[in-house]
Amino acid sequence: MPAIAESLAEWAYGYEPDAEDLALARRSLLDTVAVTLAARDHPVSALAAELPDAARWAAVGHVLDFDDLHIESTTHISVVIVPAVLAAGGDARAYLAGAGVMARLGTLLGWSHYAAGWHATCTAGAPAAAVAAGVAWGLTPERLATAMALAVPGASGVQAAFGTHSKSLQVGFAAEAGVRAARLARAGATADPRAVDAWLKLVGAQGAGDAGEGTPHSGRPAVPGGLAIKMFPCCYAMQRPIAALRDLRAECGPDDVTAVRVTTPGATVHPLIHDGPDTGLEGKFSLPYAVATALLDDFPGFGAFTDDAVGRPEARRLMATVETERTEGGAGLLDGEVDLAVTLTDGRVLRSALAHPPGSPRRPPTDGELAEKFAACGSDVPALLKDTTWESARTLLLTELPGKAPA
């Protein structure tokens, strides 16, 4: 039986995208470039300036937590794969090959891997970025499998980084590890593709040791399940509570609220590790702050996730009213539904329940919603994205986020 890397490499090498795949690739390109441009002035942009292109673009693209997500694997696919493809001079087919491998690897890693504290975007991302860059450079299936094995040392990242610069930087490291591995494979470096099987087993992948038995390494679409587009610039685990609470804004104001009870499967809020956030970055991973910003802000955009916004006295008061009941079961960020009970000063209790937030695969964004998101990423972003191709996107990022030589 072939090694997992060999099976995935054969799939990636031979995959022929259809119109639906190509539409997803184009949306992913535009969305990723938009959220990367939105972070041009973020401190991480300056910190990442000395990193290679793929690492720099991925780190900056992820720092606002506005990039897309593959629900089934709990991985931010495009912010790893788009930079890897652009750094290698690739196109939509290279993106779909890398994205498909990342979705399949991430699904094989499974929820237990994520729940153990790994950052699956990094672990699945490094070997997948190797495939993306390798396809862009025309590597054979054998060389693609070798590239995946060469990327194993860079396939690491932990959730303890959430709420710090390290979260986005480790995503950048994963993207660059993949590009570096593909470059080495192209140059003739050797590696045993079974290293991927061994690594998967070590990090607790489901079915590891059985060549991924039960996990499809072929078929279509390129990205099974599609990708969720974020409508708010924060952890995906906050999208549903924010959207559910915003449904109640017409019936109450923040000053009317005395208690908020959030009931949800524990898995759906697993990444929300900051109950009392002190910074804007920590606020992006806080269920109590999701409640506060949903009630306080007309729209929880970039301004809602600054240090000053998180420190607002009214936000602090609202966060203190939140009680969370994490029910048992669940193995993903959109399992079950979130149920909110909001108690008001007059004794009334308002309720809201939601299963699928806006932008999720079952509620995909409209063209108008995407246009609004791109406009929110910068007044010049819609014009910069006009008629964007994979080639012009690379030039755009080189211009807007230029690297610099190490001192």
Res 386 pLDDT > 80? yes
- Average pLDDT (325-333) is 89
Are 36 and 5 a contacting pair, CB within 8 Å? no
Q: What is the per-residue pLDDT for 404?
A: 78
Residue 186 CA to residue 189 CA, distance in Å, equals: 7
Residue 318 CA to residue 254 CA, distance in Å, equals: 8
Q: What is the per-residue pLDDT for 2?
A: 84
pTM listed for this prediction: 0.95
Peptide bond into 221 cis (omega under 30): yes
Res 58 pLDDT > 80? yes
- Average pLDDT (354-372) is 96
Confidence of residue 27 (pLDDT cuts 50, 70, 90): very high
What percent of the chain clears pLDDT 90, i.e. is strictly above it? 94
Angle made by CA atoms 186, 191, 193, in degrees to the nearest 5: 105
- Say which residue, 212 or 197, is predicted with more confidence: 197
268-319 tens-digit pLDDT: 999 999 999 999 999 999 999 999 999 999 999 999 999 999 999 999 999 9
Q: Which residues contact 166 (CB under 8 A, 6 or more apart)?
A: none
Closest CA to 182 of 70, 76, 34, 52: 52
Confidence of residue 216 (pLDDT cuts 50, 70, 90): low
